[in-house]
Homo-oligomer: A and B are copies of this chain.
């Protein structure tokens, strides 16, 4: 991860796909992916390349609103701004962008430079019946930052790009906490903490392309595979701007004073307010590491070992179980692999790793390399490198006209086997030839794992979205029926909304709607997401 924590040469972010424009799979590499797909699915249609359109050449809907003169300096209506704020980065988004479909573009992209700008923008939106779509890094893979779907219900759609409200403002080294603006990208956040020897150590796959405010709004999952996994646990206090006013919670290490205000806004996906600042809990940078890559003949044996480790009271920072597809190339016998890692700023962790490894060996694991004390090498390092590349590969599949989707959940240990079987059966049934499905655990809890599925399926240009939706529907239905959550860390957005509505208690939806009525009385904040 160390590389990813440094600000890379910025280059340009892709307007149509994941991450950096320069990192997109193209040319021979793209053809290579096509050849691999064709070999894997000999019965499937041939992958065929879609080219990336030039946004300046695409049709954009006419701009319907004019910002007031006081805000005009913050507002852009150029083609590239609007195109790059039309969608997030879900598979559906990428396919629509590649198809040059920008009918969902916002009328205006607003870029507040100070918190007061945001207050003024929300006033304008509330007063003029404009949908206000908070937009951090825009890396949502669930349709969380898209105003197109509600375009016709509003006089206009304003995408509010928050990345101008960025920076580490204040560090409290004694309490190991920092006040950081919501629009700060992951690498800039870590850059701002490095001199103090501190780190948030929160690395969602989108780390380079998402912001602290986005992590908070979506309850993102991060680096740690056990114990404190979500950003929730690292938030000490929050500051939000809502159409009804500003909310700032008190910095507290712990509290029992009523329901937690922070927890009401964590996961609110921009529907109740916009996170402008947070105090977050930091760590010292780790100096001691120990990792092991444990092989299991069956995935089930790996499941039992992962469960035993996390129920033992050990807190590995990594406890990632990969099925043979996910572990491809890591084990010469094609076995499942459990990546175990421990780290600490202050004490050697070999002993803890040895205890965890012993536990795995008791469950039939084999660890040819034993425990390694440098995280940069070994199986874990290899895997981590491919982790940050994976979304670019997904885009390659999209460009080749096929379908790729990832989805994730969490479920009790007692419910996991049935859930996995249900997902496999459901996804296999929707397309012919059936998709390739792989599974890993991203996080594990004493009461259950967080399984993550990757699906790749043959499709044809023109049918991609239909085929993708069929996979999504089947998988989501299977997850819900088997007792899982519709998302463990990808958020709900528009894509997961139908299943979220079945998952949450009805009276909780009523409660959220009541809160929204008070904080966003005009109903302009990210309308259609979560509530209403």
Contact = CB atoms under 8 A, between A and B. Distances in A.
Interface of A: 172, 174-177, 218-221, 227, 229-230, 232, 236, 242, 244-261, 263-269, 281, 283-284, 307, 311-315, 344-347, 351, 355, 359, 410-415, 443, 445-450, 483-492, 496, 500, 503-508, 510-512, 514-515, 517-519, 530
Copies in the complex: 2
Given A247-B505, A257-B503, A312-B345, 14 more contacts: A174-B414, A175-B448, A249-B508, A250-B485, A252-B412, A253-B450, A254-B450, A256-B488, A257-B500, A258-B269, A259-B263, A260-B267, A312-B344, A312-B346
Contacts of A508: 247, 249, 261, 264
Given A313-B344, A448-B253, A266 B259 contact: yes
B255 A485 contact: yes
A507 to B, nearest CB: 5
A256 B313 contact: no
A259 to B, nearest CB: 4
Contact of A176 (B447, B487, B518, B530): B447
B253 A507 contact: no
Given A220-B256, A344-B312, A504 B265 contact: no
A254 B445 contact: yes
Contacts of A251: 412, 447, 483
24 contacts: A174-B414, A177-B412, A218-B256, A221-B254, A230-B256, A236-B447, A244-B510, A245-B506, A248-B505, A250-B483, A251-B412, A251-B447, A252-B412, A252-B485, A253-B411, A255-B488, A256-B267, A257-B267, A258-B504, A258-B530, A263-B264, A313-B345, A507-B519, A511-B518
Contacts of A487: 255-257
A355 B347 CA distance: 7
Contact of A261 (B232, B445, B505): B505
A19 to B, nearest CB: 21
Contacts of A413: 174-176
A175 B447 contact: yes
A452 B202 CA distance: 32
A500 B258 contact: yes
Nearest to A347: B355
A258 B488 CA distance: 10
A503 B411 CA distance: 36
Nearest to A259: B267
B507 A245 contact: yes
A257 B345 CA distance: 32
A434 to B, nearest CB: 28
Contacts of A232: 260
A412 B244 contact: no
Contacts of A512: 258-259
Nearest to A312: B346
A313 B311 CA distance: 18
A302 to B, nearest CB: 16
Contact of A412 (B172, B284, B443): B172
Contact of A492 (B257, B265, B446, B490): B257
Given A247-B507, A312-B346, A508-B261, A253 B449 contact: yes
Contacts of A448: 175, 252-254
Contacts of A355: 346-347
A524 B311 CA distance: 42
Nearest to A490: B256
A280 to B, nearest CB: 10
